[in-house]
């Protein structure tokens, strides 16, 4: 049954759901380049496409049908046409879905931003996306990418535009060349890596923060903490639900991914309780500045 998820208002007055579903990446492993009947699923397992893709479609469709109407995807993940199939299968009207896509790094370097977006729209079977972002601030081209995205925004191909993996200095450079403030900055955020200075800077500029890796990939240093176990027992929830609730009460949109229907239902069932201010502060203090993914100032954009 489709449930309405609470919304956040972006800086251009567009409403975005306060939690999102990110189906994740599918790649043809290098071992199978000559036979792409195999893909690598989001857990890194090599599986047959004939097995995985129908399951992938059903999973996305189920997530949308229970309230995960913010769908976060990227051209770099592959198999965009299955997103369109999942939207159709879900039975949730397009106007109730907040559809996100991103410019890949290779497309930034090539500069064919509009061409890529038009292909995405074709695969999604829609004439607009609700949020269009670039995936990484690729050195020397991300500012040009941003200017091209502004044109696409003005032309109505996207209801809002944003960025991902941007440090404060990237955002400052964007604001120097543009009057259009990114609506969203999607970065790695979780209790082991709260990024408080960046989150606070974004808030000061009216930029909503989305969190990927929001539960730190179930890192033992986090999920085994007695603090989280005790809070979870208090509210009769699991630790993942507590962490997702912490994100939401911090004004951060967590983007979660799970192929498991039971886990999807659990992840969306976080609006019937509220953490106390003391509990929020205690979870904040877990931070050890442990980045689990790539640092945009120190990474190889050609492989991301």
Catalytic annotation, residues: 77
Contact at 8 Å (CB) between 257 and 23? Answer: yes
The two tokens of residue 140 are: 């020397």
Hunting for tokens 């640092």 — which residue is that? 295
The three-class DSSP label of residue 63 is: helix
Report the DSSP pairing between strands 7-9 and 98-103. unpaired
Calculate the CA dihedral of residues 7, 206, 100, 296 and round it to 10 degrees: -140
Question: Do 124 and 88 meet the contact criterion of CB atoms below 8 Å apart?
Answer: no
φ, ψ at 179 (rounded to 5°): -85, -10
CA nearest neighbour of 116 among 145, 157, 75? 75
CA distance linking residue 193 with residue 11, whole number of Å? 25
C-alpha to C-alpha distance for 80 and 104, rounded to whole angstroms: 13
Provide the 10 A C-beta neighbour count for residue 33. 9
């Amino acid at each position: 049954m489709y449930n309405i998820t609470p919304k956040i208002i972006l800086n251009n007055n567009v409403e975005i759901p306060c939690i999102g579903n990110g189906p994740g990446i599918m790649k043809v492993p290098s071992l199978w380049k000559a036979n792409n009947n195999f893909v690598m699923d989001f857990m890194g397992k090599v599986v047959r496409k004939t097995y995985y893709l129908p399951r992938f479609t059903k999973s996305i469709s189920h997530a949308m049908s229970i309230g995960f109407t913010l769908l976060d995807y990227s051209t770099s993940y592959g198999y965009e046409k299955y997103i369109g199939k999942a939207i159709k299968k879900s039975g949730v009207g397009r106007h109730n879905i907040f559809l996100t896509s991103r410019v890949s790094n290779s497309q930034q370097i090539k500069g064919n931003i509009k061409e890529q977006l038009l292909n995405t729209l074709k695969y999604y079977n829609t004439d607009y996306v609700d949020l269009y972002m670039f995936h990484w601030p690729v050195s020397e081209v991300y500012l040009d990418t941003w200017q091209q995205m502004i044109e696409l925004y003005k032309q109505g191909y996207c209801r809002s535009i944003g960025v991902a993996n941007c440090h404060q200095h990237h955002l400052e450079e964007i604001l120097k060349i543009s009057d259009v403030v990114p609506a969203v900055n999607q970065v790695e955020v979780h209790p082991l890596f709260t990024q408080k200075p960046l989150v606070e800077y974004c808030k000061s500029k009216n930029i909503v923060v989305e969190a990927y890796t929001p539960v730190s990939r179930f890192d033992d240093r986090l999920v085994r903490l007695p603090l989280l176990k005790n809070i979870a027992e208090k509210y009769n929830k699991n630790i993942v639900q507590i962490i997702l609730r912490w994100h939401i009460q911090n004004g951060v949109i967590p983007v979660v991914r799970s192929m498991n229907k039971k886990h999807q239902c659990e992840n969306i069932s976080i609006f019937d309780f509220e953490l106390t201010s003391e509990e929020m502060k205690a979870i904040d203090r877990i931070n050890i500045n442990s980045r689990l993914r790539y640092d945009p100032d120190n990474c190889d954009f050609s492989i991301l």
